[in-house]
Chains A and B, each alone.
Chain A
Amino acid sequence: MLGRRQILAAAAGALATPSLVRAEETVGVTAGEIRIGNIMPYSGPNSAYGVIGKTEQAFVRMLNETTSFAGRKINFLSYDDGFSPPKTVEQARRLIDQDKVAFLFNTLGTPTNNAIQRYCNQRKVPQLFVATGADKWGNWQDFPWTMGWQPSYRTEAQIYAKHLLAERRDFRLAIVYQNDDFGKDYIAGLRDVIGAERFDRSTKTASFEITDPTPDSQILSLQGSGADVLMIALGPKAAAQAIRKVHDIGWQPLRYLTNVSLSVGAVMQPAGAEKGVGIITSGYLKEQGDAAWREDAGMNEVRAFVRQWMPEADLNDSNVVYGYGLGCTLRQVLTQCEGNFSRENILRQAAGLREVALPVLLPGITLQTGPQDYRPIQKMQLQRWDGASWVRFGGLIEGASV
């Protein structure tokens, strides 16, 4: 039974703290918590990416233990969509309509985010830092509530094209690409910089279906075209097979490799470490296996985090490093909000990141956004495989402004 005194005390308390009353009116924010929604493929063919969601959950656990945001803890709701767009729509609606989250954070996948982009923008729910490298997430004019995070595949391809033009005056380019928007973005990016006319004249492409057992026949037909430069835009398994095949048939083109497949353990070693010598790729995240970061303060922070908060995780999995970077980004945005967690302000702060350095980003690379700049990371650094590890060279490069 509530006594009169308690009621009076409660009323007085409510009057004395007007900020709490205002917070009640903000969607997804109560006196004690901020609800944030996330969708990950914990099941299905892309379940390897689920590690990102688990890392973020662990990061939020750590935040809730150690800090609070204007007195509020984070309630991080992460659901499984199995990488199926209709399921993503269902989960997004559950998060937005039923759980009433303040915003969606780092939902993963290109087709899956495609499916919910318009819904989020109609409802004016921030869809922040989506975990996909497609180029379309920087479109602030048409989709002001959606923002990407990592450099797009297209930006990456533009960087390779810039390097190629600086390196060789004359070349015949061959591209083997995965037949989806991931692979096609590389064609678009190379074409941006090389120029449509020259690209069409000097390039041969071969498409690879993710269900094909090997890209061997594509490699053979590209070799037959007489190309002396090869862009490999394939997922990890196929990339390893392509690297091996190119070497085994004695073809020696200048090789570029998508950074999706730069994993030492999953690509370079299975392909044969010596077979990939000279391959060029690019990066923006630090690699756990890279000797240069053995004593790095930023990577030590990640290692300490993993030891304490998710000891079951595999540090060599670059998804852990990626998830940690996203966790830091979340902390930064919530801190910048300074207690005003309305959807408008959350979006404003996400679009107001100024030179934010993260422990997992390569030195010199920062998060930088603005009301007309929805691409937080745009710089990358080239690196070359020396038979044992990736060696960075040259300065940071930005994509072309196309």
Chain B
Amino acid sequence: MSASENVAIPGTIPQAVPVRRGMPAWQVALVVLGGLVVAIAPAFVLESFPLFQLTMAVIMGLAVLGLNMVTGFNGQISLGHGAFFALGAYATAILMSHLDWSFWATLPVSAAVCGVVGYGIGFPALRLGGLYLALTTFSLAVAVPQILKHKSIEDWTGGVQGLFLVKPDAPAWMPGALTPDQWMYFVAVGVAGVCFLLCWNLIRGRIGRALMATRDHQTAAEAMGMDTATLKTRAFAVSAIVTGIAGSLSAVAVEFVAPDSFSLMVSITLFVGMVVGGVASILGSLFGGLFVLFVPNIAEAISKAAPGVIYGILLIAFLFILPDGFAGLLRRIAGRLRGRG
């Protein structure tokens, strides 16, 4: 996999190198500044509907990142991440609508619930490899909408009718009057930004290399002394947490949760987002989110009669043109630039 090329191999960089290889500091600052502008500008440039779409795309990107952590970086195929997405959404919705919690307070709870369940799912994953794991997680995604409708928890989940909740308002200390849509965008970008940063930090370090080593050759990784069982279960937990937080965000952005919102398609959509964005790529996840949100709309604009067909064709075209996703394209461009320089 090309992803591991990005990771510096420890030991090859001499300890006393005075100047870091790669970009000089001013370039890093420029990139960070540019990123911030790109992240903040839409809130003031776009009208409320495109802004809402972009908010949803960022949220989907975060959910794809969660899937990428376990499938992309750790090689455990999951077709059931829609279940964690639903779990996070429902955790937030139940706490907000029944117990009047603030949105921020629900985030740690949602993360904890998803983390525990994800950890639990990680155990059977140890015994089930590849396709069998895909099917096991798939069954989770199939079961969740029906579990949410079950009579015994209907008082909490609202049954088939679902639950309503309200977007968090912009706090009073914010300068200027932000509309709820603008604030929601900042909340989504802020939370997603922190998660992306944490995941990036995790992946580029010791644990990230261990995850990828387990993916690429488990026996070799074990021979080198890595505790692959712990790695795999924890990777599942982290992945579930990230996707669950995305679910929480989506619940408040849409202001409604219902079992029908979390059908099997959500899991498949996340998987599509991961592959299109780039397997085992942090930034690619964001592109994946943009893809799964905007491309179906483009497909519908082209043909109302058969949007599914157009979407399928676009998907195949993307995979044909960008076989390793958006991330691969970026990598190629970066490589070419570097080669020229």
The segment out of A81-89, A259-267, A269-277, A280-288 that lies at the interface is A81-89
Contact B49 A93 (CB under 8 A): yes
CA distance A214 to B97 in the complex (A): 36
Interface presence of B219 (CB below 8 A): no
When A93-B52, A98-B47, A180-B149 are in contact, do A114 and B161 touch as well, CB less than 8 Å? yes
Contact B254 A86 (CB under 8 A): yes
Least CB distance, A369 to chain B, in whole angstroms: 24
A-B contact pairs, 15 of them (CB 8 A): A43-B307, A80-B304, A83-B260, A84-B261, A85-B162, A86-B256, A89-B255, A93-B49, A98-B50, A111-B161, A111-B259, A115-B162, A118-B255, A179-B146, A209-B146
CA distance A85 to B47 in the complex (A): 22
Interface size class, chain A: 20 to 34
CA distance A90 to B256 in the complex (A): 12
Residues from chain B with Cβ under 8 Å of A305 in the complex: none
Residues from chain B with Cβ under 8 Å of A97 in the complex: 47-49, 52
Select from chain A the residue with minimum beta-carbon distance to B305.
A42
When A43-B307, A118-B255 are in contact, do A180 and B49 touch as well, CB less than 8 Å? no
Contact B52 A85 (CB under 8 A): no
Residues of A within 8 A of B (CB): 42-44, 78-80, 82-86, 89-90, 93-94, 97-98, 110-112, 114-115, 118-119, 179-181, 184, 209, 211
Contact B300 A86 (CB under 8 A): no
Contact A85 B261 (CB under 8 A): yes
Select from chain A the residue with minimum beta-carbon distance to B53.
A90
Out of B47, B258, B307, name the residue touching A114 (CB < 8 Å).
Answer: B258
Out of A42, A111, A179, A184, name the residue touching B258 (CB < 8 Å).
Answer: A111
Out of B52, B164, B265, name the residue touching A90 (CB < 8 Å).
Answer: B52
Contact A111 B53 (CB under 8 A): no
Least CB distance, A395 to chain B, in whole angstroms: 34
Contact B162 A111 (CB under 8 A): yes
Q: Mark B302-322, 1 if CB is under 8 A from A, else 0.
A: 001101100000000000000
Residues from chain A with Cβ under 8 Å of B285 in the complex: none
Contact B162 A89 (CB under 8 A): no
Out of A42, A86, A179, name the residue touching B261 (CB < 8 Å).
Answer: A86
Least CB distance, B249 to chain A, in whole angstroms: 12
Select from chain B the residue with minimum beta-carbon distance to A47.
B308
Question: Which A-B residue pairs are the 3 nearest by beta carbons?
Answer: A97-B49, A98-B49, A111-B260
Contact A93 B48 (CB under 8 A): yes
Select from chain B the residue with minimum beta-carbon distance to A118.
B164
Select from chain A the residue with minimum beta-carbon distance to B251.
A86
Interface presence of B250 (CB below 8 A): yes
Residues from chain B with Cβ under 8 Å of A93 in the complex: 48-49, 52
Residues from chain A with Cβ under 8 Å of B260 in the complex: 83-85, 111-112
CA distance A89 to B305 in the complex (A): 21
Q: Mark B136-168, 1 if CB is under 8 A from A, else 0.
A: 000000100010010000000001111010000
Least CB distance, A270 to chain B, in whole angstroms: 26
Contact A84 B265 (CB under 8 A): yes
CA distance A110 to B56 in the complex (A): 22
CA distance A80 to B301 in the complex (A): 10
CA distance A86 to B89 in the complex (A): 12
When A79-B300, A115-B256 are in contact, do A42 and B307 touch as well, CB less than 8 Å? yes
CA distance A180 to B160 in the complex (A): 6
Select from chain B the residue with minimum beta-carbon distance to A44.
B265
